[in-house]
Amino acid sequence: MALLEVSGLTRSFYGVQAVRGAAFAVGAGTITALIGPNGAGKTTTFQCISGVIAPDGGTIRFAGQDITGWPADRITRAGLTRSFQIARGISRLSVLDNLMLYAPDQPGEGVLAALAGGGAAREAAIHDRAISIARRLNLLAVANNPAGALSGGQKKLLELGRALMAEPKLIMLDEPIAGVNPALAETIAAHIAGLRDDGMSFLIIEHHMDLIAKLCDPVIVMAEGRVLAEGSFAAIAENPAVREAYLGARR
């Protein structure tokens, strides 16, 4: 069953069409890849889905709701969150504080809850959840370290952890192993697979084909702003149109 449905998506910048009628679906409980050559429209599609920018046309449905044009914070509260290629943690805050910052329904956000004295209980629950996520992602040993002191791979794990703190149904990951050493890339892949096994859904932009082959099914290929092909990694790898557009081979 489709958790996310994108149909007829379009977006232009200064007269240049970056996305031209893209259409695809992401099933619940899957790790779906969105790949393609540079300039294919992948990042713009991510931006439109996550509410960073508004599409010019088309429809985006998530968990049965039309979320087209919703602001990013509303989309996150609906259960769809994302990471960024460049980690966006607050460098001076500790890892634990970065995680806690992304929990929904913060105690200070509700006047009635504050007056009723429920803030302390909610803050304790957020703290416990942050500890649990840090432990799961092997970040507990550095939980009190400033985020700016983390390695590149640990920052990627923190990005994933911050997304998890939002209690999402679907996480969109933008190049989750870019710039990460091979050993830690394997660790990140294992965490993603484990979260999928626990029921989480993912849509991933990634250029490392070994990760795509190992983790993702289905694979969606974009080229020139459109969806070119979709299927298993094996089927995509043998598709002549994909080879021409993505791998640079001639048909």
pLDDT tens, residue by residue, 179-202: 888 989 999 999 999 999 999 999
State what percent of residues in the chain have pLDDT above 70: 92
CA–CA distance from 106 to each of 18, 96, 109, 136 (Å)?
37, 15, 5, 22
Q: Check: pTM over 0.85? Answer yes or no.
A: yes
Q: What count of other Cβ atoms lies within 10 Å of the Cβ of residue 156?
A: 27
Q: What count of other Cβ atoms lies within 10 Å of the Cβ of residue 85?
A: 16
Which of the 8 DSSP states describes residue 169?
S
CA–CA distance from 99 to each of 74, 107, 128, 131, 147 (Å)?
19, 15, 11, 9, 10
H or E stretch including 43?
helix 42-50
Is the pLDDT score of 143 beyond 70? yes
CA–CA distance from 119 to each of 31, 104, 106, 124, 133 (Å)?
36, 13, 8, 9, 21
d(CA 187, CA 181): 10
Q: What is the mean pLDDT of residues 204-218?
A: 92
Which of the 8 DSSP states describes residue 173?
E
Average pLDDT, the chain: 90
**Full strand arrangement of the beta sheet holding 201-205:** 80-82, 170-174, 201-205, 31-35, 219-223, 226-231
3-state secondary structure of 117: coil
Q: What is the DSSP string of 72-88?
A: HHHHHHHTEEE--SS--
Tokens of 111: 């006047």
Q: What pLDDT, on a 0 to 100 scale, did the predictor assign at position 119?
A: 65
Q: What pLDDT, on a 0 to 100 scale, did the predictor assign at position 97?
A: 95
Q: On the CB side of 74, how many CA atoms lie within 13 Å of its CA?
A: 10
Structural domains of the chain sorted by starting position, each given as residue range(s) with its CATH number in brackets: 2-247 (3.40.50.300)
Q: Which residues pair with 173 in a beta bridge?
A: 204
Q: What pLDDT, on a 0 to 100 scale, did the predictor assign at position 28?
A: 96
